[in-house]
Structure 1
Amino acid sequence: MDFHPQPQPGDARPWAFPEPARQTLGNGLTVLRCDRPGQQVVAVEVLLDSPLDVEPAGLDGVATIMARAFSEGTDKHTAEEFAAELERCGATLDAHADHPCVRISLEVPASRLPKALGLLADALRAPAFADSEIERLVRNRLDEIPHETANPGRRAAKELYKQLFPADVRMSRPRQGSEETVAAIDSAAVRALYEKNVRPATATAVIVGDFTGVDVDAVLADTLGAWTGGPATPRLVPPVTADDSGRVVIVDRPGAVQTQVLIGRLGADRHDRVWPAQVLGTYCLGGTLTSRLDRVLREEKGYTYGVRAFAQVLRSTANGTGAALLGISGSVDTASTGPALEDLWKVLRTLAGEGLTDAERDVAVQNLVGVAPLKYETAGAVAGTLADQVEQELPDDYQGLLYQRLAATGTVEATAAVVNAFPVERLVTVLVGDATQIEEPVKALGIGAVTVVSG
């Protein structure tokens, strides 16, 4: 029997995260362009300087409604016509609002880039913000809120942010608003936010893909370059502060068969030199199935299907006013809540006493650095990371240098970073579960004062 020859591996080739070309259009729009031969689906990310902090008092969620409304018609097309034009291009358009900015994402075949960019430019230049469409988006958002409240993970996150940040700080409240604030939003509020904050001089566009046969300069000039607006004005960004004194908050869900666990505090962001070591150490703690937390809580004890440790940038600025949320999340069965938390604290204390092993460090580096070329096979992945760098005021070569720093980080350095990131006495623990069953076992652990709130 003849078999097909077994494929042989090729020679390893050097890889580095691509660095974009940067330019500024005549209207003040900053453009980061990255030509990726073979990527026939072009990815575009537009970042608008409209952070959640600029939402008017009592209108939390208006930035989210504005972001969603960009695809609901322009001065040239109704909402239905705009959707049909996007579909004819084979394009997808999404948008969301977060603490740093509003981001709009477009993906389209390279051959139809001019048409799709023209539609995106129209949406930015002259969004319709029709009363009927805004009312529909508000109703949709109000319908989403009860579902989010019923989700233990979302409910835990909402409570953690409420606990960490002062009540008068926007980060303490839901990103997409509450029922009360969303219900107060109308088209006038959306348009006022747009007119005050959205302009090309404070925006950035990231475009990644195969530009063979495409005059990108001409396309940009004819589309996004035709968008006009006022000059850029400096915006003061206050520092992020939080109360991470050790305590436990139980969100009562009577009859719950599981307890959702979310532990967090504020830590260093990507501008801090400790970030690479913090990423590496956090990955060793809870970044994968072979991490310490999973090895104990999942494999040895069987409390959970998985526990993860993470560092999520909340806001990152070059002047040092940013911060990241350092967290541990997972779920356990109700009866195991106390024992699981006890063992989790033991993992953290053991880590502080004994440190990471070289083997753990080596696996983390391989998983974070070795697979990076696979992670960035698509134009969308590259564009998303470049947009993150813009959003966080990082240099264009940051991601490539980060991989070098991760590979050069030693075991001792990673240990120190993760121990400092998760000090056992300064962790805010939120538990969503049946308080009648878990309150006393948790109090007995002595990991902080325990408070019960309504679910």
Structure 2
Amino acid sequence: MIRRHRSGGLLRSAVFTAILCAIAGSVFAADAGAGFPVTPPAPGPAPQLNVPVPTAQTLSNGLVVVSVRRAGLPLVTAQLVLRSGGEMDPANEAGLADLTANLLTKGAGGKSAPQIAAAAEALGGSLQAAAGWDESAVGITVITPKLPKALDLLATVVRHPDFAPDELKRAQAQAADDLRLALSRPIALASLAAGRAVFGDGAYGHSRTGTPASIARITRANVERLHAELYRPDNAILVLAGDITPAQAAQLAQASFGDWKNPATPLPAKPKGSTDSKLPALLLIDQHGAGQAGVVAAHAAPPRKDAGYYTGVVANAVLGGSYSARLNEEIRIKRGLSYGASSRLQPMADAGLWLAAAQTKNPSAPQVVALMRQQFAALGDGQVPAAELAARKATLVGGYGRSLETTAGLAEQVAELAVYGLPLADIGQYIAKVQAVTPKQIEAYARKHLDAKYTRVVVVGDATQFAPALRKADPKAALLEAGQLDLDSPSLQPAAAVRP
């Protein structure tokens, strides 16, 4: 751990830094005539990762045990992952899966939240719980000798949560405060609305973390019902990554989870990830007085198991996956319209979502909208130059290698493959599959999945400064008041509230 200096040390450090900067400045000035490089060096060769193939075993109760060994350090990350997440939230109960997961560590087996935290700390770790799309997970990292007790603790919070009324009330209050703060920011509100614009009332259309109104509606009975329906061994995967063998993994899993019983009722079916939204292609939300506008462009994308997944990953890297990608190049670097513009591809079980986002001055929102649409279209209008593609692939490859450096990162990669029913050996194939993507494949992928007529754009900010120009360009655009939005409705707001 790097420790901070006391005040005297900080002063000495500042003086030393100033001296170094002065020296460096004189050196650079002297060398300026020698020809300072104006272009970055070409990407180096892809690293050769030696990733062990995970092993999967299944207990008699249906619990899948996946282990991947990394010797060298006596550490193991354990994650208990459910194949269900926010997509299972009932109507008007957005955020239920996330709230349920967060409550697991807030009291279980008769132990209070502080007692559970103390038990984890005594093992040298801390319990982390959350729900995403298609998964809910609880995890902990400990030294190998502490793993049996860590798994017992994991089993307690997953199988016997208390869901104490006071903890539920506290969690609801915290979640509501967090949501109100987040939704006061234009970019966060635009992202939430973009999900509705793409998925409508489909499984992925609502806010996965809920809304202030939906969180307030959730009762203890709702939480207990969802836990009883989904937290069961035939819907669970235990991932163990680190200093552990498959035989040890099976033995420890049996000891902590072998007597976990499935309920008599069948596992609820997953709802469909519909993309049948009734919202217009351009949605403007007036957050009166906002200092900036949040601009989000969205597209439906293929599910995680789609054969073109890696093509999509590389296409996103080209579009907005890093500082040097096209969106940031056009919006920030060339024009200074934003501090940053980026995109992400989020594939899920039954669908996927592309999101491009930037925050800008209110008057420049129309220009940013146009640039985002242009860059989405450009991916399908021509092939990515070889040098640009090599640089974007290098970013992906380097990031993937770093994600496997810790047992926690290794466990997360394995868990994703297991949750989506993909071959576990794919963990060692990522680099090869990324490198195999061609410019022609990206162009074809973009033409198929990023057609401009399906682009959905949401702009949130002081609409008086951008709505006239955008509505002139697109008379079908809808203008809504931020303060009147119904965030739990697929339409976001009753039609009568839409301003003409």
Matches within 5 A, 1:5-404: 14-167=48-201, 169-211=202-244, 215-230=248-263, 233=266, 235-243=268-276, 247-313=281-347, 315-316=348-349, 322-404=350-432
User: 1:12 and 1:392 mapped to 2: Cα distance?
Assistant: 27
- Indicate conservation of the 8 Å contact 2:193/2:458, yes or no: yes
Identify the range of structure 1 (416-425 vs 92-101) with the bigger mean alpha-carbon deviation: 416-425
SS in structure 1 of the partner of residue 466 of structure 2: helix
TM-score (norm 1): 0.88
Match of 1:423 among 451, 458, 477: 451
SS in 1 for 2:337: coil
The one-letter amino acid paired with 2:440 is: V
**Closer, same or farther: CA 141–414 of 1 in aligned 2, 3 Å:** same
CA, structure 1 residues 397+246, in 2 after alignment: closer, same or farther (shift >3 Å)? farther
Rate the CA distance shift 1:351–1:138 in 2: closer, same or farther, 3 A.
closer
Counterpart code for 1:250: L
SS in 1 for 2:150: helix
Aligned residue for 1:452? 479
Seen in structure 2, the aligned counterparts of structure 1 residues 152 and 408 have a Cα distance that, compared at 3 Å, is same
**Kept in 1: contact 2:46–2:394 (CA 8 A):** no
Structure 2 counterpart of 1:451, one-letter code: A
Cα contact 1:246–1:426 (8 A) shared by 2: no
* Alpha-carbon displacement from aligned partner over 1:275-297 (angstroms, at most 9, x marks no partner): 22222122112211222222222
What code does the residue aligned with 1:223 have?
A: S
Residues 253-306 of structure 1 show CA distances to partners (whole Å, capped at 9, x for unaligned) of 222232111110111123222222222122112211222222222121111122
Tell me, in whole angstroms, the C-alpha distance in 2 between the residues paired with 1:171 and 1:371.
27
Of 382-391 and 72-81, more deviation after overlay is shown by: 72-81
Corresponding residue SS for 2:53: coil
Counterparts of 1:123 and 1:51 in 2: how far apart (Å)? 17
Alignment check: 8 A CA contact 1:247 1:427 kept = yes
Q: Hey, what does 1:439 align to over in structure 2?
A: 467
SS for the counterpart of 2:163 is coil
Distance in 1 of aligned mates of 2:263 and 2:371: 57
Change (3 A) 1:408 1:249: same
Q: What's the CA shift for 1:251?
A: 1.4
Shift of 1:232: 8.1
CA distance in 2, matches of 1:438, 1:432: 10
In the alignment, is the contact (CA less than 8 A) between 1:39 and 1:378 conserved in 2? no
- How many residue pairs were aligned? 437
1:307, 1:228 → 2: CA distance?
48
| Gap change, CA 1:294 and 1:106, over 3 Å in 2 | same
Deviation at 1:219, TM superposition (A): 2.6
Aligned-pair CA distance for 1:210: 1.6
Cα distance in 2, alignment partners of residues 281 and 67 from structure 1:
33
Structure 2 letter corresponding to 1:110:
T
C-alpha distance in 2 between matches for 1:146 and 1:227: 39
Indicate if the aligned counterparts of 1:96 and 1:102 stay in contact, CA closer than 8 A. Answer: yes
Greater Rg by CA? 2
Q: In the TM superposition, what is the alpha-carbon distance from 1:182 to its structure 2 partner?
A: 2.1
Give % identity.
Answer: 25
CA distance in 2, matches of 1:145, 1:371: 30
What letter is aligned with 1:88? A
Q: One-letter code of the match for 1:129?
A: F
Call closer, same or farther: CA 1:124–1:237 in 2, change over 3 Å: closer
**CA distance, structure 2, for counterparts of residue 232 and residue 428 of structure 1:** 40
Task: Say whether residues 1:405 and 2:438 are aligned partners.
Answer: no
Q: Equivalents in 1 of 2:392, 2:234: separation in Å? A: 41
What TM-score do the two structures reach when normalised by structure 2? 0.80
AA aligned opposite 1:414 = I
Which whole-Å CA distance do the structure 2 matches of 1:432 and 1:12 have between them?
A: 41
Query: CA 1:367 to 1:84, structure 2 compared with 1: closer, same or farther past 3 Å?
Result: same
Return 180-189 or 434-443, whichever deviates more: 180-189
1:370 CA drift (Å): 4.7
**Can you give the 5+ residue segments of structure 2 that lack an aligned partner in the other structure?**
1-44, 483-500
For residue 126 of structure 2, what is the amino acid of its counterpart?
T
Is this contact kept in 2: 1:246–1:427, CA < 8 A?
Answer: no
Give, as a single letter, the amino acid of the residue that structure 2 aligns with 1:187. Answer: R
Q: Tell me, in whole angstroms, the C-alpha distance in 2 between the residues paired with 1:395 and 1:233.
A: 26
The Cα shift of 1:165 comes to 2.4
What SS class does the counterpart of residue 449 from structure 1 fall into?
coil
- SS at the partner of 2:80? strand
Matched residue type, 2:215: V
Task: Return 5+ residue gaps in structure 1 as ranges.
Answer: 1-10, 317-321
Distance in 1, Cα, partners of 2:146 & 2:281: 54
Q: Which amino acid aligns with 2:431?
A: Y
1:332 is displaced (CA, Å) by 1.5
Change (3 A) 1:57 1:441: closer
Residue type of the alignment partner of 1:346: Q
1:144 is displaced (CA, Å) by: 2.3
Structure 1 291/44 Cα, relative in aligned 2: closer, same or farther at 3 Å?
same
Structure 2 CA distance, aligned partners of 1:62 and 1:310? 25
Whole-Å separation in 1 of the counterparts to 2:178 and 2:400: 35
Q: Give the direction of change, closer, same or farther, for the CA distance of 1:19–1:235 in structure 2 (3 Å limit).
A: farther
